Amino acid sequence: MLSRPDRLWTLSEAEIEALEIGSAILGTGGGGNPYIGKLRARQALRDGHQLRIIRMEDLPDDAKVVSLGGIGAPLISFERIKEGREGLRCLRALEERLGFKADAIACEEIGGQNAMEPLITASFAGLPVVDGDGMGRAFPEMQMTTYAIYGHRSTPSVMCDPHGNVVIFDHAISEKWHERMARACVISQGGASTLASAPMSGAFVKRFSIPNSYTKAIALGRAVIAARQRHDDPVAAICAMENGRVAFTGKITDLKRHLKGGFVTGEALIEGFDTCSGQTASVLIQNENLVFKRDGVVEIAVPDLIIILDIDTGNAITTEMLRYGQRIAVVALPCHPLLRTPEALEVVGPKGFGFDDIAYRPMAADEPATGSAS
């Protein structure tokens, strides 16, 4: 069971360390490199800022909540360090455009660096971050949040880059069009920027957020750290916490990866060992891990979580850090029920990514946890 924080929870450096590990796991390969995000969050703490999280149930119904996160290719965000206050510029420009003051920040996606970005921006603005997010994992496109799926219109929105440019998207006729326009803009800004969306009410956030995302990510990180200290299997600890299973163990033998349309796309090919000896597997990628196949047959697909872990440390390997020869475990975790409704599957199921020949078969939420990678 997850431990519940106080109403307003101020993160410590130790919790930031755990969040780095847990957000990378939930990021399913995407969300931006969490190590860089951790360094930025830690620096904000050392500069005297407070990184605070508010429990969802304590958020007033009439609160004005701004969702915020990075947009672009994770590879770019790893290679080009942020200026640092892009998110704050987004927030202030949005407040000025709409004539309001934000009461809290919401996380777009709990994955990777995008778990840190709302905390950093909120700390500069003196605001808390809601203990929830719009994905419960990471997805590559902006319309793939529970906020958008269940009715929030995210424009007007503001995008800022490291150079100081501020772009306002005043109105989009659909969330998909907002994604298309923002994606074109982020390419022109160098491939990675920060975007803040139109405010949501506290009542909407409490109804349609994936709950307790920060609590879960930090608990996952702590579980991995504790397993290492006990010389236990950290991969098994992750599966036990999230009712997951080890789908495959092996070595990466080939990697097809390229930057296309503002995304990192490709495929990782894996040769099995131990209990998977003699088998092959592959993971299809679009910023995140989308589809897992064993011997050419689909076994796991979005929106369930497909995570590539270092088999010894339990650290998640983001898509930009995949390399030939890495010894890995592919772990599958069930997604939140908000991502399994018919309206959600239209957006974040296999067909939402163009896999028209793949039918989504959900992992059983009550399926016994399995898995030792050793």
**Is it the case that residue 73 has pLDDT exceeding 60?**
yes
CA torsion 344-347-350-355 (nearest 10°) is 160
Does the structure show a pLDDT above 50 at 366?
A: no
**Coil, strand, or helix at residue 177?**
helix
Question: Token pair for residue 354?
Answer: 């163009």
Q: Which among 358, 349, 311 is positioned nearest to 331, based on CA atoms?
A: 311
Instruction: Report pTM.
Output: 0.91
Residue limits of CATH 2.40.390.10 in the chain: 234-353
**Mean pLDDT on 291-308:** 97
Note the pLDDT of residue 32.
78
Confidence of residue 373 (pLDDT cuts 50, 70, 90): very low
% of the chain surpassing 70 pLDDT: 93
Average pLDDT over residues 194-214: 98
| Residue 261's pLDDT band (cuts 50, 70, 90) | low
Strands 104-107 and 129-133, by their bridges, are: parallel
Average pLDDT over residues 65-77: 82
- List of residues 6+ apart from 1 with CB closer than 8 A: none
Type of residue at 184: A
**In the chain, ranges of CATH 3.40.1610.10 domains:** 8-213
**Which of 3.40.1610.10, 3.20.20.70, 3.10.310.30, 3.50.50.60 would CATH assign to domain 8-213?**
3.40.1610.10
Single-letter amino acid code for the residue at 78? F
Homologous superfamily (CATH) for 234-353: CV3147-like (2.40.390.10)
For residue 287, the model assigns a pLDDT of 83
For residue 278, count CB atoms less than 10 angstroms from its CB and return exposed for 0-12, middle for 13-18, buried for 19 or more. Answer: exposed
pLDDT tier for residue 1 given thresholds of 50, 70 and 90:
very low
